[in-house]
Amino acid sequence: MIIEGLHEKKLFEPRFPFRLLINHEQNFTYPAHWHNACELIYVVKNSFSVIVNSQTYNLNEGDILFIPGGQIHEFCDEPPTGKRVFINFELIQFNSLGMNSLDQSLLSDIQKITPESSAVYDNVKEEILKIVSEHNSETEMSKLYYTARLMDIIFMLCKNSNLNKTKASGKDKILAFEKIRKSIEFIHNHYNENIRLKDAANAAGYSECYFSRFFKEVTEVSFHQYLNEYRVKKAEYLLTSCGYSISETAYAAGFGSVASFERIFRCVKGCSPTEFRKLQN
């Protein structure tokens, strides 16, 4: 093993990119470094702190941390005693076994795997313990065994990453729907004013282009269609319940002119405002 600057090199023996270390060292620390290999840390006894890209991960006994290759990380000496398992491996060794770029993209995030937060925890822990057990009594077949166990772990890490991304996506959608709701409230409160797409987009906190596309995705109509239909709905009430004239209704409902009001009203209702009033009476 060689460290040049922060880059840790030559972790592995030739032609097999795998390393397992079991650490019992008291007051164990290791300075900031990075390597191309991925790293799995399993805390067997006591707790352990790892800093990755300036973010601290406090691991309790039994917790597992996956660090993708290329991440700057360091180990802290709290608590002073404990037992930790470190497993390093290269993803490139699995390319010939069917691993693709999508799988590798799912392994681009740091994953803290705990009994409370991860559905794959028990399976990942079991595979790590199998690797440790094999390491204690290595044979000529051990490399094949390690490869099989790592493939199982990689599958579960990909599954866990996909679940996390799906949850995050769900939260993002809820937030987006909330923003669209705000824009709809804005329309309902300002329909009788000269509001534009830009105004509703600002109310939602989106750019005009994104807002226009996402608004239609949520409501199934365009912003302008929704606004016009809401104005027509308000005009119906004014025509039948308030005794407004056609021109009074047009401007009170937010239309810029009587001509545009009559045109849009006919498009939405299939009749003119005057005909609508007669039908209601």
All domains of the chain, ordered by start, with CATH?
A: 2-168 (2.60.120.280), 224-280 (1.10.10.60)
At 11, the pLDDT band (50, 70, 90 cuts) reads: confident
Omega before 79 within 30 of 0, i.e. cis:
yes
Q: What is the pLDDT of residue 280?
A: 78
What mean pLDDT do residues 63-83 have? 89
The sheet carrying 38-45 orders its strands as 18-23, 83-89, 38-45, 64-67, 111-113
Q: Which residues of 192-202 are buried (b: 16+ CB within 10 A; e: fewer)?
A: eeebebeebbe
Q: How many CB atoms lie within 10 A of CB 244?
A: 19
What mean pLDDT do residues 135-154 have? 92
Read off the tokens for 146.
Answer: 């390690």
Q: What is the pLDDT of residue 102?
A: 45
Q: What is the pLDDT of residue 174?
A: 56
Asked if 123 and 156 touch (Cβ cutoff 8 Å), the reply is yes
What pTM does this model have? 0.58
Task: Kindly report, residue by residue over 44-55, the tens digit of the pLDDT.
Answer: 999 999 999 888
Which of 85-99, 170-184, 219-233 comes out lowest in average pLDDT? Answer: 170-184
Task: Kindly report, residue by residue over 149-204, the tens digit of the pLDDT.
Answer: 999 999 899 888 766 654 544 455 556 667 788 888 899 999 999 999 999 988 88
- Distance (Å, whole) CA 98 – CA 140: 24
The pLDDT of residue 267 is above 90: yes
Q: What is the pLDDT of residue 161?
A: 76
Which of 98-107, 117-126, 251-260, 265-274 comes out lowest in average pLDDT? Answer: 98-107
What mean pLDDT do residues 85-89 have? 96
Read off the tokens for 194.
Answer: 């000269």
